[in-house]
């Protein structure tokens, strides 16, 4: 057994797909710090270090292809067998890059960086011309990776076979702009896209909502704070809707897009898309709204499971109900009594709540058993109990889900009780030409490869089991016991604000959101971290007596996207401001 060290890119402050912890991905600037975590490996998985502490079907193993990336996101395979990887680089501007990964004769992988200083690249797909296309928040580009030349000898190009010259040996190939002017602001700026199978120069592009559920600013209260119609969902008179899938046709001699049509709408954030290889059915994985209990306290006990995520079969002109309805035509609390959910399309299949599906791929390979063939692989990225796994969804002959429950391919991906292994964070899923399955992990900065060995088991996907509950350490239990007895101003903030609205993201590490750890019941430690100067010359989140401190601005959504999604209550904000006004003292 050995320990594999993996640099861990940190999430942005307030960046996750579920609340009350924090807002959705894609909304913030991020600190440059990276933490470091380690997977425990034991033995080999088709020549790669094998992850030890995962549950997989008999004969299925997971190996580490490469690590050290800052937010590994989209991945695609070229005709040569080389892999193209989007490294998002964090949430700050122009920190991302694109890598090429190549399998060596000894079954290990080499990597080289082809492009740098790109703004938050996420989606990757190979076009009909065989070139990789890269999605940024505001545009989609293509490039020829084999046009890259050696820095040491510009007459020599990157060869399609053989050893790579090094991780930083090549000059950047030219990026060609093919889709421009995508909306890149708000809570969901990242772009995912897929190509049509029958009209290969047509692409479908996710344009995520700018808000959580069409709330109008901090402290929005229904009905006035949740307008009907919602402009994000329907589009203004002079603009297209957000929360939509757009259709772009790359035409003309240069195959670039000059216009688009709104293909479908009422889709909060379509970061998981797949087109069936023969029927051409377009399937979307919906990352549903947060904080469903905020305006209906009766849903509090169900908030961990509601609303369900969704798999939708996308039809041109369809409206899928965001923000008015959730699940199978249930009115959202903010729109109850104001909408008729029968007007909107229901999902083909409900997925577990807050699972955060970020990757979809039909399994078209032959390595895995028949149970996998032509069914749909789904990555669950979510940090909550329903997330961090790889699932297999049965589909019919057209690729439509709904005929059976999702099965588990990888689970048990929780952070280990001793903290030695991280929680899984799978993003994209790729079925390779050899039938193996590649996964990317943003938070853990890895590319993984999943393979099946018939000699080691039958590979049968696993029936789902209730998600594991978080392990409560002795330290946390002691902190909570002490917090219950405290009466100082920050301890009230800890109980009523941090434990209620922040620890879901900032309490999960290593790789705490934005580099800020806010641990459950840790009044002393959290107050110290909020009032301490940050690395790189950045000031503290809280300055004593200053109600324009960064923490307050973030809670209000002034100058920063609001966290958590939908903000905090006036009472919670008042507790934070009272603590700051009284000197931001650290409990003793």
Range name among 67-71, 282-286, 429-433 with the lowest pLDDT average: 67-71
List Cα–Cα distances, 398 to 84, 123, 403, in angstroms: 29, 25, 12
The pLDDT of 276-299, averaged and rounded, is 94
Cβ-proximal residues to 42 (8 Å cutoff; 6+ apart), any chain: 1, 2, 50, 52
Could you tell me the CA-to-CA distances from 405 to 385, 426, 461 in Å, in that order? 18, 20, 12
Residues 207, 192 contacting (CB under 8 angstroms): no
Kindly tell me if the per-residue pLDDT of 108 is higher than 60: yes
| Residues contacting 6, CB < 8 A, separation 6+ | 36, 37, 38, 39, 64, 67, 68, 422, 444, 445, 446
Longest dimension (CA), the chain: 72
Tell me which residue of 282, 278, 355, 269 sits closest to 312, measured CA to CA. Answer: 282
Indicate the range of 308-322, 427-441, 480-494 predicted with least confidence.
Answer: 480-494
pLDDT value, residue 469: 60
Q: Which of 110, 113, 101 is nearest to 169 (CA)?
A: 113
| Chain mean pLDDT for the chain | 90
Q: How confident is the model at residue 230 (pLDDT cuts 50, 70, 90)?
A: very high
For residue 304, what pLDDT band results from cuts at 50, 70 and 90? confident
Pseudo-torsion of CA 571, 575, 577, 579, nearest 10°? 170
- Decide: 280 and 8 in contact? Cβ < 8 Å: no
CB-neighbour burial class of residue 305 (10 A; exposed 0-12, middle 13-18, buried 19+): middle
pLDDT of 8 strictly over 60: no
Mean pLDDT of 22-42: 47
Check residue 457 and give left, alpha or beta (phi > 0: left; psi -120 to 50: alpha): left
Asked if residues 367 and 451 have their Cβ atoms less than 8 Å apart, the reply is yes
Decide if pLDDT at 464 tops 70. yes
pLDDT at position 567: 65
Distance from chain centroid for Cα 429: 12
pLDDT bucket at 373, cuts 50 / 70 / 90: very high
36 pLDDT above the threshold of 60: no
Residue 481 has pLDDT above 70, yes or no: yes
- Answer with the residue of higher pLDDT: 584 or 10: 584
Looking at residue 253, what is its pLDDT?
96
Share of the chain above pLDDT 70, in %: 89
pLDDT at residue 3, as a whole number: 44
**pLDDT at 28 > cutoff 50:** no
- Distance between CA atoms of residues 229 and 241, nearest Å: 11
Instruction: Please check whether residue 417 is in contact with residue 428, taking contact to mean a CB–CB distance below 8 angstroms.
Output: no
At residue 2, the pLDDT reads: 52
> pLDDT band at residue 499, thresholds of 50, 70 and 90?
confident
Q: What is the pLDDT of residues 142-171, one digit of tens each?
A: 999 999 999 999 999 999 999 999 999 999
Percentage of residues in the chain having pLDDT higher than 90: 75
Average pLDDT over residues 494-511: 78
Q: What stretch of H or E contains 27? A: none
pLDDT band at 517 (very low <50, low <70, confident <90, very high): confident
| Cis check: omega of the bond before 298, within 30 degrees of 0 | no
pLDDT, residue 563, reads 73
> Residue 115 corresponds to which tokens in the numbers above?
């492009």
Sorted by where each starts, the structural domains of the chain and their CATH numbers stand as 2-151+165-218+249-456 (2.120.10.30), 474-581 (no CATH)
- Given this model, what pLDDT does residue 470 score? 61
Contact at 8 Å (CB) between 429 and 390?
Answer: yes
Sign of the dihedral defined by the CA atoms of residues 483, 486, 489, 495, in that order: positive
By residue count, the chain amounts to: 588
How far is 567 from 550, CA to CA, in rounded Å? 14
Between 474-483 and 523-531, two packed helices, what is the crossing angle to 10 degrees?
90
Element (H, E) at 220: none
Rounded Cα distance between 509 and 519, Å, is 9
- Candidate from 42-51, 357-366, 548-557 with smallest mean pLDDT: 548-557
pLDDT value of residue 471: 67
Q: What is the pLDDT of residues 243-260, one digit of tens each?
A: 999 999 999 999 999 999
Cα–Cα separations (whole angstroms), residue 393 to 159, 313, 403, 480: 38, 14, 9, 40
Q: How many CB atoms lie within 10 A of CB 397?
A: 9
Q: Sorting pLDDT into bands at 50, 70 and 90, what band is 512?
A: low
- Record the pTM: 0.83
């Amino acid at each position: 057994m050995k320990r594999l060290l993996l640099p861990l890119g940190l999430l942005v402050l307030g960046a996750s797909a579920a609340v009350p912890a924090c807002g959705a991905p894609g909304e913030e600037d991020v600190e440059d710090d990276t933490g470091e975590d380690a997977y425990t490996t034991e033995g080999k998985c088709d020549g790669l270090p094998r992850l030890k502490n995962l549950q997989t079907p008999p004969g299925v193993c997971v190996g580490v292809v490469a690590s050290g990336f800052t937010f590994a996101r989209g991945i695609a395979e070229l005709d040569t067998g080389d892999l193209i990887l989007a490294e998002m680089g964090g949430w700050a501007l122009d920190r991302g890059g694109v890598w090429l990964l190549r399998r060596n004769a000894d079954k290990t992988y080499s990597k080289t960086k082809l492009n740098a200083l790109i703004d938050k690249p996420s989606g990757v797909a190979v076009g009909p011309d065989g070139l990789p296309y890269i999605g940024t928040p505001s545009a989609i580009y293509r490039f020829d990776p084999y046009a890259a030349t050696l820095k040491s000898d510009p007459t020599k190009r990157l060869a399609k076979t053989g050893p790579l010259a090094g991780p930083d040996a090549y000059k950047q190939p030219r990026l060609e702009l093919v889709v421009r002017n995508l909306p890149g602001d708000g809570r969901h700026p990242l772009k995912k896209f897929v190509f049509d199978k029958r009209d290969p120069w047509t692409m479908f592009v996710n344009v995520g909502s700018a808000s959580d559920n069409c709330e109008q600013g901090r402290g929005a209260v229904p009905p006035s704070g949740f307008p009907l119609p919602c402009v994000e969902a329907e589009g203004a008179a002079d603009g297209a809707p957000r929360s939509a899938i757009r259709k772009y046709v790359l035409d003309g001699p240069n195959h670039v897009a000059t216009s688009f049509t709104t293909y479908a709408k009422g889709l909060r954030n379509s970061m998981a898309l797949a087109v069936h290889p023969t029927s051409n059915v377009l399937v979307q994985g919906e990352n549903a709204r947060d904080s469903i209990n905020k305006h209906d306290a009766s849903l509090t006990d169900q908030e961990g499971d509601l609303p369900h995520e969704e798999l939708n079969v996308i039809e041109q002109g369809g409206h899928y109900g965001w923000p008015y309805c959730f699940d199978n035509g249930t009115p959202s609390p903010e729109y109850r009594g104001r909408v008729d959910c029968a007007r909107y399309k229901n999902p083909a299949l409900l997925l577990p709540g807050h699972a955060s599906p970020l990757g979809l791929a039909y399994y078209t390979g032959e390595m895995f058993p028949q149970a996998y063939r032509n069914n749909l692989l789904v990555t669950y990225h979510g940090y909550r109990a329903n997330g961090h796994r790889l699932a297999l969804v049965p589909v019919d002959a057209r690729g439509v889900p709904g005929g059976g429950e999702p099965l588990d391919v990888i689970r048990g991906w929780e952070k280990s009780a001793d903290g030695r292994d991280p929680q899984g964070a799978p993003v994209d899923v790729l079925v390779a030409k050899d039938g193996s399955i590649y996964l990317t992990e943003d938070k853990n900065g890895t590319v993984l490869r999943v393979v099946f060995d018939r000699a080691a088991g039958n590979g049968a996907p696993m029936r789902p089991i209730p998600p594991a509950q978080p392990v409560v350490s002795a330290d946390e239990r002691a902190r909570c016991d002490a917090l219950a007895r405290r009466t100082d101003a920050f301890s009230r903030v800890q109980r009523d604000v941090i434990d209620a609205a922040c620890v879901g993201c900032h309490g999960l590490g290593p790789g705490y959101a934005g580099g800020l750890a806010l641990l459950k019941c840790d009044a002393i430690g959290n107050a110290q971290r909020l009032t301490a100067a940050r690395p790189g010359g950045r000031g503290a989140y809280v300055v004593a007596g200053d109600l324009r401190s960064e923490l307050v601005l973030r809670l209000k959504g002034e100058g920063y996207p609001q966290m958590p999604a939908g903000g905090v209550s006036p009472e919670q904000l008042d507790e934070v401001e009272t603590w700051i006004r009284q000197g931001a003292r650290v409990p003793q």
